[in-house]
Structure 1
Amino acid sequence: MDQEHEKPQRLKDFNGFQVTEKSCKEGGANPNWKFLHCLPRKEHEVDDEVFRGPRSLVFPEAENRKWIIMAMFE
């Protein structure tokens, strides 16, 4: 939305704020925490271990969204 020129500064400002297993553990997250994310994913937001791991509900949720949209068209 015409903010592309801000990207380098934003990446610098948010360096170290990526969602990782380590950051959640150190931050005191519930041991049974789950991860949701609206797609598309950006690699600097969340690491692969979390995004594709057993805690992630990203893809089941995306499939649910697909069926909801199809039902709305029906």
Structure 2
Amino acid sequence: MLVISMGQETEKQARLSAFEGYQVTEKLCAEAGANPDWKFMHCLPRKAEEVDDDVFYGKRSVVFQEAENRKWTIMACFE
């Protein structure tokens, strides 16, 4: 995952260059030998450089279920 944290904005271009070609795509995962039924999770917020739309919004994505579960976990902690 491409990480550009607050206070590191000056490193953005160098990091984008260093990670060029490493966007999560169906093709990249297939070439890497991923399990045929792999799932995609993400901690949000999403950056387009990290993952393409087909993966993020596609059949493999459990991003929104993950986010909903996180919401209920946080609410339980407050209880």
Q: TM-score range by the shorter chain?
A: over 0.9
1:23 equivalent in structure 2: 28
Is 1:36 the counterpart of 2:38? The answer is: no
**Offset of residue 2 of structure 1:** 1.3
1:67 equivalent in structure 2: 72
Letter aligned with residue 71 of structure 1? A
Between the aligned partners of 2:14 and 2:56, the Cα distance in structure 1 is: 24
Letter aligned with residue 29 of structure 1? A
Between the aligned partners of 2:7 and 2:46, the Cα distance in structure 1 is: 20
**Offset of residue 38 of structure 1:** 0.4
Q: Deviations over 1:27-71 (max 9, x none)?
A: 110101011110101100000000010100110010000011111
- TM-score normalized with structure 1 length: 0.96
Between the aligned partners of 1:15 and 1:23, the Cα distance in structure 2 is: 12
* Structure 1: gaps of 5 or more residues: none
Between the aligned partners of 1:4 and 1:41, the Cα distance in structure 2 is: 17
Percent identity over the alignment is 70
* Structure 2: gaps of 5 or more residues: 1-5
1:12 equivalent in structure 2: 17
4+ long deviations beyond 2 Å: none
